[in-house]
Amino acid sequence: MSVHLQREIERLKKNLLALCALVEEQVQMAVRALLERDPELARRVEHRDLEIDHREVEVEEECLKALALHQPVASDLRFIVSAMKMNSDLERIGDLAVNIAHKAVTVAGQASMAIPFDLAAMWQKTQRMLRDSLDALVNLDARLAHDVCARDNEVDQLKHENRRTAERLMQENPAQIPVLLNLLAVSRNLERIADHATNIAEDVIYMVEGRIIRHGTGE
């Protein structure tokens, strides 16, 4: 690897991790806004989305510049290609945080209704998947990346449980249907964030092992 390419890759990794930290904070704030019925915090999430979009464009431009100027091969090429895909996943997670914030504003107006399922626990599992996928990237740890992929089913199961609970409550009390639909949307968004964390982990596996395991291939 040339010295210039090495510097480009190190800067790219640093900027990718900075974007991840910002995205993770966004989702954390959105979930907290929902649980604490805090519409002002939710609006802060909405306003900061432009910063994520800006950073996502910068990382993509860095990737394209590295490809054009240095024509990397082998593991360097895999890293840059994977970084572009991860960058897209992180931007989508930022969008999902905004979706949750929108729902938080609506739910805040229904302070008398308790949230009937544990979205905080669901977020903790999702957050751990996101953090571990990035730790796997930093340390090029394929074993940890495989573990993240295996945990995706846990979040899927929580989403299904939340849906069953909501459907039962809708039948028992139709007046709660609007709020329950918003809470179900939050549950779906958290599950999709876990999917994006899984995508990142799969890209780490590709970087380290040179295997594409998405959609069950490469096994």
- Over the stretch 70-114, which tens digit does the pLDDT of each residue have? 888 888 898 899 999 999 999 999 999 999 999 999 998 876 788
In this model, does residue 193 exceed pLDDT 50?
Answer: yes
User: Domain 3-216 classified CATH 3.30.420.10?
Assistant: no
Q: Is the pLDDT of residue 15 over 60?
A: yes
DSSP 3-state of 33: helix
* Cα Rg of the chain, angstroms: 19
Q: Looking at 53-62, 108-117, 125-134, 203-212, which range is the least confident one?
A: 108-117
Q: Nearest 5 degrees, angle CA 19-CA 78-CA 151?
A: 60
Q: What is the pLDDT of residue 170?
A: 95
* pLDDT, tens only, 20-76: 899 999 999 999 999 999 999 999 999 999 999 999 999 999 999 999 998 888 888
Domain residue ranges of the chain, discontinuous segments joined by +: 3-216
Is 16 a residue whose pLDDT tops 80?
yes
Report, as an integer, the average pLDDT of 197-217: 84
Q: How many residues does the chain have?
A: 219
User: What tens digit of pLDDT does each residue of 167-188 get?
Assistant: 999 999 999 999 999 999 999 9
Token pair for 54: 């800006």
